């Protein structure tokens, strides 16, 4: 790694949104690939070609240096995702509801 301080690799948009600089990729994406999927940093850099291998390593190092904080960040990110999916399930966008209704009507016609 260069002489950059580790935090210089990231944009801290909020306590719930940390992204790699010059990218729309959040640290949770990289850490999911690394921790949950067991991908190597090289594999991750190949998957996400808009970021460098150095950025991947910086994300992993940031996680290792701040395990408790980053683990809480990821836990909150997962919980937020669950809440948003549940909210969407309970309040589907109008277009989803329209498609569901069209599907029901089509199935009714096919059965008639």
Which CATH number do you get for residue 33?
1.10.10.10
Q: How many distinct structural domains can be found in the chain?
A: 1
On whether residue 1 sits in a domain, the answer given is no
Smallest CA-to-CA distance from 28 within 57, 64, 71 is with: 71
Predicted local distance difference test score (pLDDT) of residue 41: 98
* Domain enclosing residue 42, as ranges: 6-111
Predicted local distance difference test score (pLDDT) of residue 1: 46
Each of the 112 residues of the chain gets a pLDDT tens digit; together they read: 445 799 999 999 988 899 999 999 999 999 999 999 999 999 999 999 999 999 999 999 999 999 999 999 999 888 888 888 888 888 877 887 788 888 988 988 888 7
On whether residue 49 sits in a domain, the answer given is yes
The β-bridge relationship of strands 10-14 and 17-20 is antiparallel
The torsion angle over the Cα atoms of residues 36, 39, 41 and 42, rounded to 10 degrees, is: -160
On whether residue 101 sits in a domain, the answer given is yes
On whether residue 33 sits in a domain, the answer given is yes
Give the pair of three-digit tokens for residue 11.
Answer: 């944009």
Which residues pair with residue 11 across a beta bridge? 19
Predicted local distance difference test score (pLDDT) of residue 83: 87
Q: How many helices (H) and strands (E) does the chain have?
A: 5, 2
């Amino acid at each position: 790694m260069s002489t950059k301080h580790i935090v210089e690799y990231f944009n801290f948009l909020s306590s719930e949104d940390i992204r790699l600089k010059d990218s729309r990729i959040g640290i949770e994406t990289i850490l999911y690939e690394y921790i949950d999927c067991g991908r190597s940093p090289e594999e991750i850099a190949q998957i996400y070609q808009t970021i460098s291998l150095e950025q991947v390593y910086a994300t992993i190092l940031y996680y290792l240096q701040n395990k408790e904080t980053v683990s809480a960040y990821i836990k909150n990110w997962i919980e937020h995702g669950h809440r948003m999916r549940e909210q969407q399930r309970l309040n589907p966008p109008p277009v989803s509801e329209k498609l569901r209704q069209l599907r029901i009507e089509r199935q009714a016609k096919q059965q008639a």
